[in-house]
Amino acid sequence: MGNIALAIHGGAGPDSEFVRRNVDRYKQGLQEAATAGYDFLKSGGSALDAVELVVNILENNPIFNAGRGASLNNKGEVDMNASIMNGRDLKAGAVAMIRNVKNPISLARNVMEDTRHVFMAGKGAIDFAKTRQALMMPDSYFITEHRFNDYLQLNQQETEQDLLQKRIQGTVGCVAVDVNGNLAAATSTGGLTNALEGRIGDSCIIGAGTYANNQTCAVSGTGDGELLIRGVVAHSISSLIEFTGCTLQEACDNTVFERCKEFKGDIGVIAVDPKGNIAITYNTERMHRAWAGVDGNVEVRVYGDEG
């Protein structure tokens, strides 16, 4: 029996007045999700079930940008993306441009387990959700006052440069290793505020925002989705371990600070390996994160090394 470990994130990016005003709410949400996930692993639960459970909890919490509390695109509509991957057999499922589905991460798992496909999007994915008896919610369930105000603010910006300077993004994710040494990763997002309708970020792209392989590691990313896609960040971390033999932390640091150093933007990652080692790397002012390893203690952070 191996060591169990779990790490979660609730997004990374520039600091804001809203984050500082609600830091305790963020920490409470991270604590609850991480504790539930770790307790599940401790009871013998699988890593795949654990990451879905944790992301469900975060999707249901309106403080995070995933599920309820999702960002609004430039039409004032919700477009959610999610993906999940099983490190044991490299199976994966992903969904994009999802509306009204309460828990997109569970729909991504349905795609993985109940179809011959990996990635479904838009109307077809939503129709598929209904065949799986996914819980559907009205538009009003997803739209919080905070996200609506973000949309109103950015929708009135006049230039692309203004939008780049005031980007508002967020994601949730979880990586885990269970008692059998199996790894899994899951990522879910409400997207980028005021993004063009149809924009798809990294959270639903296997290898960019999500990756898991029992031979190397499990990774979930956050930040500017376009950068994680261009850097193929999650898979790059796995490849560094596979081909150089470096440690998990070295692979994360090298990918974020060296391979992606020419990118001007935000990148954060959480990762875990088969031995239960945990790595968290980010180049941002804040990264909402929590983790629990061999000692079983859940640690929660939003900024640097604060307790």
Catalytic residue among 115, 144, 159, 171: 171
Q: Which amino acid is at 32?
A: E
Q: What stretches of the chain adopt beta strand conformation (E)? A: 5-13, 80-86, 91-98, 119-121, 172-177, 183-189, 210-212, 218-223, 267-272, 278-282, 286-292, 298-301
**Residue 171 is a catalytic residue:** yes
Residue 78 is given by DSSP the state B
Contacts of residue 43, Cβ cutoff 8 Å, sequence gap at least 6: none
Contacts of residue 242, Cβ cutoff 8 Å, sequence gap at least 6: 213, 215, 216
Decide: residue 224, CB within 10 A, 0-12 exposed, 13-18 middle, 19+ buried. buried
CA distance 164 to 152: 16
CA distance 149 to 145: 6
Does the CA dihedral 58-63-64-66 come out positive or negative?
Answer: positive
Beta bridge partners of 268: 222, 282
CA distance 225 to 146: 21
Contacts of residue 83, Cβ cutoff 8 Å, sequence gap at least 6: 92, 93, 94, 95, 108, 186, 187, 203, 204, 205, 206, 209, 210
**Diameter of the chain by CA atoms?**
57
211 contacts 237 by C-beta, under 8 angstroms: yes
Residue with tokens 């509509």, as numbered in its chain: 77
Any idea which residues carry the catalytic annotation? 171
